[in-house]
């Protein structure tokens, strides 16, 4: 995937320089991958800027940490990744709401992993900013929000107002450490909150989880086409890397007045919203969430608040999980 991304980037830059819009070279779509014995040697490699590097390089051996990660997460029943190609649609809010909704059952153990390295908002949302992360012989201990709800985030490792200015290698290494070195224990659900886009963090996460039992992902969108366009790209990415899409949650679907309880559409669904997206891409609409001022206040204050719509969303989600 990293190889294909580099080839795509090179192609786009070349088109920009030459002011052309030629058809994309075949290797972007048919790349055998740098680990393959055919790397740099098949017809689809012709014209790729990395052809000589791949042809001369030795195939990379399997990452031994993948087995370590599989062992670490062996007692996690469901791994759910929360994604969206668009920033600002409320992935972290949806992740926290999902965690709180699941944790309402005291017999259910829930963990939340925040891999939004540069914008880690979950410690603030969960009200655990400044809480120490302890280390023992079994690894790092996630911070507990409730007796059956824990979280791990870069936001717990840096000062609240400190900017995280890490390059890809350090970000990817942190994601591996969260998977490999955190003592998650026995969990019914591990929710992974991701940053927007389809870049390094997402490709690293998919690669590191390839030996684990990942249930799938939930795509978050808002009703307007500006968001939907990027969410379609995210869904196509998930399908390309064989990450099952459990369904779509439409966030900010309306505004509920705290006084009259009336609802108005703040972001009009000019192209049909999430329902039309799901119909067109063969997906399940898990549910829609309106804008609740009380929820925004709860996130700022780090207190628990679960929107009533989550009862229906969890019903639909559990049905999808039961389908396998």
Q: What does the pLDDT look like over 225-246, one tens digit per residue?
A: 999 999 999 999 999 999 999 9
Residue 100's pLDDT band, with cuts at 50, 70 and 90, is very high
Backbone phi and psi for residue 275, each to the nearest 5 degrees, phi listed first: -60, -45
pLDDT at 22 over 80: no
Residue 12 confidence (pLDDT)? 38
Residue 258 confidence (pLDDT)? 81
pLDDT at 23 over 50: no
Give dist(CA 39, CA 50) in Å, integer: 10
247 φψ region: left (φ > 0), alpha (ψ -120 to 50), beta (else): left
Range in 103-107, 189-193, 268-272 with the lowest mean pLDDT: 268-272
SS3 of the chain: helix, strand, coil, percent, to 5: 40, 20, 40
Q: What is the mean pLDDT of residues 242-253?
A: 96
* Nearest alpha-carbon partner for 307 in 233, 245, 256, 238: 256
147: its two tokens = 């007796």
pLDDT at 5 over 80: no
Nearest 5°: the CA angle 276, 282, 284 is 75
Residue 288 confidence (pLDDT)? 96
Task: Tally DSSP H helices, then E strands, for the chain.
Answer: 12, 12
């Amino acid at each position: 995937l990293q190889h294909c991304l580099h080839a795509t980037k090179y192609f786009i830059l070349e088109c920009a320089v030459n002011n052309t819009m030629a058809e994309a070279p075949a290797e972007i779509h048919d790349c055998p991958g740098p680990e393959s014995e055919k790397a740099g040697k098949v017809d689809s490699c012709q014209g790729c800027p990395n052809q000589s590097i791949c042809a001369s390089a030795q195939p990379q051996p399997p990452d031994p940490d993948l087995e370590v990660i599989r062992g670490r997460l062996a007692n996690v029943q469901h791994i759910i990744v929360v994604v969206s190609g668009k920033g600002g649609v409320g992935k972290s809010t949806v992740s926290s709401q999902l965690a709180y909704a699941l944790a309402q059952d005291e017999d259910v153990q829930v963990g939340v992993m925040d891999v939004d390295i540069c914008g880690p908002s979950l410690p603030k949302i969960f009200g655990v900013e400044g809480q120490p992360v302890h280390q023992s012989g079994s690894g790092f201990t996630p911070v507990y929000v409730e007796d059956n709800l824990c979280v791990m985030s870069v936001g717990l490792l840096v000062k609240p107002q400190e900017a995280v200015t890490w390059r890809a290698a350090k970000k990817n290494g942190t994601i591996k450490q969260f998977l490999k070195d955190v003592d998650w224990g026995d969990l019914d659900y591990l929710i992974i909150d991701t940053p927007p886009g389809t870049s390094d963090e997402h490709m690293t996460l998919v690669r590191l989880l390839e030996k684990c039992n990942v249930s799938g992902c939930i795509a978050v969108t808002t009703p307007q086409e500006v968001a939907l366009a990027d969410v379609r790209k995210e869904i196509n990415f998930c399908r390309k890397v064989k990450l099952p899409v459990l369904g779509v949650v439409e966030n900010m679907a309306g505004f509920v007045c705290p006084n009259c309880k009336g609802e108005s559409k703040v972001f009009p669904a000019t192209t049909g919203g999430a329902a039309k997206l799901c119909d067109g891409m063969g997906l399940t609409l898990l549910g829609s969430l309106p804008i609740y001022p009380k929820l925004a206040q709860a996130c700022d204050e780090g207190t628990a608040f679960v929107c009533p719509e989550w009862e229906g969303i969890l019903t639909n989600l559990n049905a999808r999980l039961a389908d396998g």
